[in-house]
């Protein structure tokens, strides 16, 4: 399923259903278009398996810092809006 953040009345479209996805992939809208930031959200079991096979672009300092800033803003907004 593809949709934007908070475009369905909830932060994520999956929050309308009684399901828990194994992986959520967020991108583009995560930074409001200001910086190319994406995120992969998963539970501990999935993350442990992925970490064993990881590589690529994770952990770049500027992207990571900006991503943390964006995540904090989204979480603050979600707490206010419910």
22-45: per-residue pLDDT in tens?
888 877 666 777 777 777 788 888
Question: Does residue 21 surpass a pLDDT of 80?
Answer: yes
Phi/psi at 2 (5° precision):
-125, 130
* 55 has a pLDDT exceeding 80: no
At 1 the pLDDT is: 57
Higher pLDDT, 1 or 8: 8
C-alpha span between 16 and 10 (Å, rounded): 7
Instruction: List the one residue out of 31, 29, 32 whose CA is nearest residue 64.
Output: 31
**Contacts by 10-13 with C-beta closer than 8 Å and gap 24+?**
11/74, 11/78
């Amino acid at each position: 399923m593809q949709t934007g953040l908070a475009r369905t009345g909830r932060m994520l479209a999956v929050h309308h259903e009684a399901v828990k996805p194994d992986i959520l992939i967020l991108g583009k809208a995560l930074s409001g278009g200001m910086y190319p930031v994406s995120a992969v959200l998963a539970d501990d079991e999935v993350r442990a398996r992925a970490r064993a096979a990881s590589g690529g672009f994770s952990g770049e300092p500027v992207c990571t810092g900006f991503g943390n800033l964006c995540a904090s803003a989204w979480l603050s907004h979600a707490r206010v809006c419910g």
